[in-house]
A = this chain, B = another copy of it.
Amino acid sequence: MKNYKPKGRLTAKEYINGVLKGDRVLLSRAITIIESNLGSDKILAKEIIQEILPYSGNSIRIGITGVPGVGKSTFIESFGKHLINQGKRVAILSIDPSSQRSKGSILGDKTRMEDLANMEEAYIRPSASGDTLGGVANKTGETMLLCEANGYDIILIETVGVGQSETAVHGMTDFFLLLMLAGAGDELQGIKKGIMEMADMVVINKADGDNVRMSEMARLQYQNALHIFPLSESGWSPVVSTASAIKNIGIDTVWQEVVKFKKLVDENGYFIKNRNHQQIDWMYNNINEELKNLFYGSANIKSHLSVMEKDIISAKISPVKAAEIMIQEFKDSF
């Protein structure tokens, strides 16, 4: 089963040439290989990635997050069209680890960004559903490399700001954009702790009609709040702006800030330094995740751990001693 090879697969060279020539159909087919869990596809995927690697990296990678209802699709539609008007080619990848997406959702994504979906300069692709966050991050990261090698200048990676995937996306992008709404105030719109501090820019969306004044107030509040946070290593101070994606207001400002950011981090050397760190961290994240899989993947260890948890809570064993016993069990299993 592992070595079953689906019909209609091309050779690695054919995918590679197609991707590098800017062929959109072959890009999609290559991404399908990346997303596949078949053994033969995994080998093929590795070959493809290995060869396109030197042609990747020439884009600005932007992470975009915000809870459902904040208007992410409308924002990306509006922002994407603005970028295309500036002569850019834009790839939009979306990650939603909470839902197991099927092929149906690709249509879903294209429906929610109808104009973009029909533009030659835009490429929309939801992330593969994955068993683990690490798996999704790998596949999205490699899809990003393929899109870059295919000639996309801007990669937008969209995620839902309620889970764990934001850290992964932050770790693979250059600029991190957080969409918020005015008036949600202290309830905080479900944004998870820690996400705010990742933001290079906060955009208060839906700043139109009756909402303009509230949005401006929210902008000031967030701007003041972000000031009390430590300066990022990039040297960039996060900015807050208002926008109405549906009315196309304030979208240009977002792009101007990205351009300013890029100029700053190109000049101070952070851009390349951060990219290098991200690449190396990508390896270490995979190693650390795989180490955990080796350990926690064992059924014996799993059942023993749940006994340990109970014994710890009832003060029968100390956490340190419990860990020692479990590690010894792991070592003995080799």
Contact = CB atoms under 8 A, between A and B. Distances in A.
A193 B224 contact: no
Contacts of A309: 280, 283
27 contacts: A46-B320, A49-B318, A50-B321, A53-B318, A56-B315, A141-B319, A141-B320, A142-B320, A145-B318, A187-B231, A188-B228, A191-B230, A193-B197, A194-B194, A221-B228, A224-B225, A225-B228, A280-B313, A282-B319, A283-B309, A287-B295, A290-B327, A291-B294, A291-B295, A291-B327, A291-B330, A334-B334
Interface string A214-230: 00000001101101111
Contacts of A84: none
A317 B279 contact: no
Interface string A119-159: 00000000000000000001001100100000000000000
Contact of A225 (B225, B280, B283, B319): B225
The 4 closest A-B pairs by CB, nearest first: A286-B323, A282-B319, A334-B334, A225-B225
A292 interface: yes
Interface residues of A, number: 65
Interface in A286-300: 286-288, 290-292, 294-295
Contacts of A197: 193-194, 197
A54 interface: yes
Contacts of A222: 228
B221 A224 contact: yes
Given A279-B313, A292-B291, A320 B53 contact: no
A268 interface: no
Given A196-B228, A282-B323, A291-B294, 5 more contacts: A145-B318, A188-B229, A188-B230, A194-B197, A294-B327
